[in-house]
Amino acid sequence: MPSFARWLAFALLAWPFGFAPPAVAGEGRHGLSAFGDLKYPANFTHFDWVNPKAPKGGRLATIGTAARTSFDSFNNYILKGDAAQGLDYLFDTLMVRALDEPDAVYGLVASTAELAPDGSGVTFRLRKEAKFADGSALTAADVVFAFVTLKEKGHPIYRLQLKDVTKVEAPDAMTVRYTFTGTQTRDLPLVVATLPVLSKAYYSAHEFDQTTLDPPLGSGPYKIGDFKQGAFVSFRRRDDYWAKDLPVNRGRYNFDELRYEYYRDRTAELESLKAGAYDLREEFTSRDWATAYDIPAVKQGRLVRLTLSDESPSGAQGFFLNSRRPKLADVRVRRALDLAFDFEWTNKNIFYGLYTRTESFFENSDMKAEGKPSPAELALLEPFRAQLPPEVFGEPYKPPVSDASGQDRALLREAGRLLSEAGFQVKDGKRVNAKGEVLDLEFLSTDPTSERLTQPYVKNLLALGIPATIRRIDPAQYERRVKTFDFDVVGQRFVLRLTPGPELRNFWGSEAARTDGSFNLAGISHPAVDALIAKVISAKSREELKTATKALDRVLRVGHYWVPHWYKAAHHVVYWDKFGRPEVKPRYERGIIHTWWYDPERAAKLKTN
């Protein structure tokens, strides 16, 4: 699916186990988590999912993990432009994620974090050795500047995430204190701990809120090397990186060079991999995974096909229906569109049976609603009974299962009935309302490969009397139209954390529905949704959180804001056999770019075969 250039997706997630005692308010700790549990003690030397003795060197050239076809900016923290991939490797944060825990973070720029006893704030102590790439000291003034700049000038998602952070101050050069407001402050320490740190001096001389191809100044493990706009961008590992020996970094960032290649279509991308033009790609096309790698290089083991387990929530992928449009405002119309999509035919004829139908906005996780609401869920839903459909209080909505014929007549009849009930009658072969306005739909696309998935759906919509078209546009125009909600239907995927927090407002909150650049593509604006998001954010335990997400899931699913797609609990990766990798994969991430390493002996064998 096409995606925003600065996609701030949150992909980590399922609760493992805890060894360390819970964080204590008022006590400086080496790490933070939403509910206090930490796996790694203060004296840990490295994460379990790295090889601490991994060699440094070599190059990894990839296309990344998203469908990116171009870039025009090295600023991925603002709404403007189409940012290059990999820019996060330029910037350090106060703390860094542990990828085998759902939400724990451990000290990077900050050595410790101290929570206020009443949860109203958090104080970080910075490491004196922290430096930017030009050798200048990284101080509390830079952290304060970064927060204020991101909140005031950054992508709108920051304003939504940080609205309850009311104050940031630097009592001294090595201390930063954040103050929160309200009762929904559980995740705010984690949010501010993982914000990028920006150089105040650098951005005093450079405009932050503008797109640019001038390499920015960061403090992270890489810096920008060679690049060609829209073609490739290279990142060079910094030998002088100040934090390379910290426990959170040991065994990580092993490649001397990271290079992201850009291709206009997936066919050229695939053939270039086979020709050895780059090293690794994740295969998102089931047909290619099933049939395109029956070549000598794979049979000889030189080109490796690898399946990595995916224990994280699969994400909410689907055709999002813009309910801001009057023709899509009626829930009956949106449900009819769901009935018209034949997943079973698609899975059988296009996906080689590799996928499962997505049912939930929290698919592949224990936050998904199942069965009838529990008493705890009902307690959250009851105050809104008058504003909610009765279906919310029964079994959660599930997409229909077709006969896999491609045009299930029973489902299409039911879809037609709903459309008529919503006021769209058939006239001269087209669905029109009482004003004579035609119910037509336009699907935005940038990728011709994905159109083969949409065409059968378009065929069924035409059978219902809905003139539907696929409009392919260039990536820049696509970005502009999606950011301003100028579309009928768009295919996207959102990935949520296992401990969802303030970002949910950006996906489904009423304010986000009115905010350009938000991820609330469907225009969801409902008091029950807002209230349940608040319950998720304020949950005091994982059980409370799961109860709130399940209740929220029920309301969202019955609103028919999307036509859900599909998922698989695995990553399909193809790469030339020139790399080593740790024995243990990070539980909730691929771990390729920052835990694998270049193996000269394997690379030499490739050249001789």
Summarised one tens digit per residue, pLDDT across range 147-204 is: 999 999 999 889 888 999 999 999 999 999 999 998 778 889 999 999 999 999 999 9
Residues 366 and 425 reside in one and the same domain: yes
Dmax (CA) for the chain in angstroms is: 75
Residues 326 and 417 reside in one and the same domain: yes
Residues 520 and 489 reside in one and the same domain: yes
Is residue 177 within 8 A of residue 123, CB to CB? The reply is yes
Are β-strands 175-180 and 597-598 bridged in parallel, bridged antiparallel, or unpaired? Answer: unpaired
| Domain count within the chain | 2
The neighbouring-strand residues paired with 304 are 575
pLDDT at residue 448, as a whole number = 81
Q: What percent of the chain has pLDDT over 90?
A: 80
Residues 60 and 126 reside in one and the same domain: yes
- Residues of the chain with pLDDT below 50 are 1-24
> 461-495 pLDDT, tens per residue?
999 999 999 999 998 899 999 999 999 999 998 88
Q: How far is CA 374 from CA 14, 233, 291, in A?
A: 21, 51, 45
Residues 331 and 231 reside in one and the same domain: no
Residues 573 and 558 reside in one and the same domain: no
pLDDT at residue 503, as a whole number = 86
Residues 553 and 573 reside in one and the same domain: no
CA end-to-end span of the chain, whole Å?
Answer: 36
CA distance 383 to 200: 48
Residues 463 and 479 reside in one and the same domain: yes
Domain of residue 134 covers 1-311+569-609
Are β-strands 222-228 and 175-180 bridged in parallel, bridged antiparallel, or unpaired? Answer: unpaired
Q: For 248-286, what is the HEC assignment?
A: CCCCCCCCCEEEEECCCCHHHHHHHHHCCCCCEEECCCH
Query: How is residue 247 annotated by DSSP?
Result: T
CB crowding 54-78: b at 16 or more within 10 Å, else e: beeebbbbbbbbbbbbbbbbbbbbb
Helices (H), 44-175: 140-153, 156-161
pLDDT at residue 313, as a whole number = 86
Query: How is residue 483 annotated by DSSP?
Result: H
Instruction: For residue 389, give the CATH number of its domain.
Output: 3.10.105.10
What radius of gyration, in Å, describes the C-alpha atoms of the chain?
A: 25
Residues 552 and 587 reside in one and the same domain: no
CA distance 537 to 528: 14
Instruction: For residue 217, give the CATH number of its domain.
Output: 3.40.190.10
CA distance 300 to 507: 46
Phi-psi map region of 591: left, alpha, beta (phi>0 left; psi -120 to 50 alpha) = left
Residues 274 and 372 reside in one and the same domain: no
Residues 304 and 335 reside in one and the same domain: no
Residues 506 and 389 reside in one and the same domain: yes
